[in-house]
Amino acid sequence: MNRHRLFLLSLLLGVPSGIAFTGVVLESSRAVGEEPDLFASPPRSSAFNVRSYGAKGDSIADDTDAIQACIDAALGSADSKTKVREAKGPIYLPSGKYKITRPLKIYSAQYVKFHGDGGSSQLYPVGKMTSVLDLNGVAYSTFNDFLIRGNGRDESIDDAILHYWDPATAYRSSTRNVFEKIIIQNTRCVTAIRIGKPKSGLQVDQGVYRDISIEGAWKPGETTWYQAGLYIGDGLFANNLIHSAYNLESSFWASGVTVDASNFSLFGGGLGRNGTDLNAHTLAYFSVQGLRSESSGRFFESIGPSSHDALYNLSDIIWSADKIVDDGEFIRMRANGVLSLQNLQITNGGAKAKIAANPVLSSTIRLAGIVSPNTLDGFLSTLNAKATAIVEGYYQANTTVGRVAAIDGFSTTGPVQWPGPGGGGIWMRSGGFYSQPGKGKATTLIKPRR
């Protein structure tokens, strides 16, 4: 396990990062063992309270300047050598509805704690702006327990939360931050949370994003290709909800080097345009475990040059699609690599779902533990001569035990392997469903292996 993965694991387990991620030289006077606990709740009495700097929280007065003044006071002056600011105390957003008309900026800073009282602490964006929170070069910081809520009418935002590092304007890389218990609701934006910037390479890494809820984040008429609920670089994501993110290119767009995600729920995402739940863009490693998706189109798409070699691990998926897009594609492989899909349950709309692979790619697709109420017409029909599909267990819920109806469309121009024994009462093996692999149909019925 590399240092990156060890650090992410240490954050989830609450272990100080200096223990699991040794040998790191911090850009501050703190020793590695003295790093603050990113998950600890700061005492309210010691916080920089935005109300003390003139914020009203009544949804009428413009609180932008007051909150920015509180942020600047908490960060203090930059170090003369590193030009980095180290927070002197937590920034507290008490209950209230704080009208925001310009981005709240935190640049070149570390050890920041920005927190509220949960859903009652609300940032209320009004007007056109690039972001509500503009975080550039922020490290070892936490943002938690607050709500960003528009009215779906009076705001036009590029990214509700923009978290990145621009070396030209910030003196600190963006790394090791925690975002949790944040709600973004009813806000007109291109992206609810953007980590990194499109086509910019690695800018943000080793972050934890969990217990985040995105509900009704959308921008009518938006044509930006990277529009998404979450647009991410490297990081770890857990227990997040993306709900009613209509008209999005993707509910979850991943672009970086290594991304781990777990326990995701996607509801109503990706209905507009391409309509993809998960979009892996030029990633070396992408892992999603425990995802539930409803009312979506395509489930997964990998994007990258033909020379790209990636590993995609998708497991414990419940997929219910009442709308199939792009001729019923369930997965589209547009990057070389290995896709491992395990424990997939299709609850609706699976009859036309299929897996597509670009003809120039040498992809390997491993499927295991597929449960569907329908026959999967054409599920592997668009694989090409260079792609390989390995199926280990397919269970069609509406068939009788010991016999399975013919599954039409399991034809391909590429090699198909049925290694078996499979799960759910079906044993698939090479040649078992084909008179000749790549030419025949599913004509041979195989009884379950006991």
Q: Which residue has the higher pLDDT, 406 or 2?
A: 2
pLDDT at 124: 96
The closest alpha carbon to 418, from 381, 393, 436, 447, belongs to 393
Q: Which residue has the higher pLDDT, 30 or 347?
A: 347
pLDDT at 159: 80
pLDDT at 278: 72
C-alpha–C-alpha distance, residues 209 and 422, integer Å:
36
Among the ranges given (107-121, 259-273, 388-402, 434-448), the one the predictor scored with the smallest mean pLDDT: 434-448
pLDDT of 311-361, one tens digit each? 777 777 777 655 555 455 677 777 777 777 777 776 655 545 666 666 556
Q: Which residue has the higher pLDDT, 228 or 398?
A: 228
For residue 382, the Cα-to-chain-centroid distance in whole angstroms is 27
Among the ranges given (160-174, 219-233, 347-361), the one the predictor scored with the smallest mean pLDDT: 219-233
Average pLDDT of the residues in 90-107:
97
C-alpha–C-alpha distance, residues 269 and 250, integer Å:
7
Average pLDDT of the residues in 42-58:
82
Q: How much is the mean pLDDT over the chain?
A: 65
With bands split at pLDDT 50, 70 and 90, how would you rate the model's confidence at 193? confident
Fold of the domain built from segment(s) 42-417:
Pectate Lyase C-like (2.160.20)
The closest alpha carbon to 331, from 313, 309, 310, 356, belongs to 356
Average pLDDT of the residues in 14-43:
39
CA atoms within 13 A on the CB side of 224: 21
Kindly list the distances between the CA atom of residue 362 and the CA atoms of 165, 300, 301, 347, in Å, as whole numbers in the listed order.
Answer: 35, 18, 15, 30
C-alpha–C-alpha distance, residues 144 and 112, integer Å:
11
pLDDT of 5-22, one tens digit each? 444 444 444 433 332 322
Decide if 442 contacts 433 (C-beta within 8 A).
yes
The pLDDT of residue 75 is above 80: yes
pLDDT at 276: 65
pLDDT at 245: 41
Domain ranges of the chain: 1-35, 42-417
Among the ranges given (36-50, 169-183, 232-246), the one the predictor scored with the smallest mean pLDDT: 232-246
Kindly list the distances between the CA atom of residue 413 and the CA atoms of 302, 338, 359, 387, 419, in Å, as whole numbers in the listed order.
Answer: 21, 18, 10, 9, 18
With bands split at pLDDT 50, 70 and 90, how would you rate the model's confidence at 56? very high
Highest mean predicted confidence (pLDDT) among 119-133, 356-370, 436-450 = 119-133
The closest alpha carbon to 419, from 447, 445, 389, belongs to 389
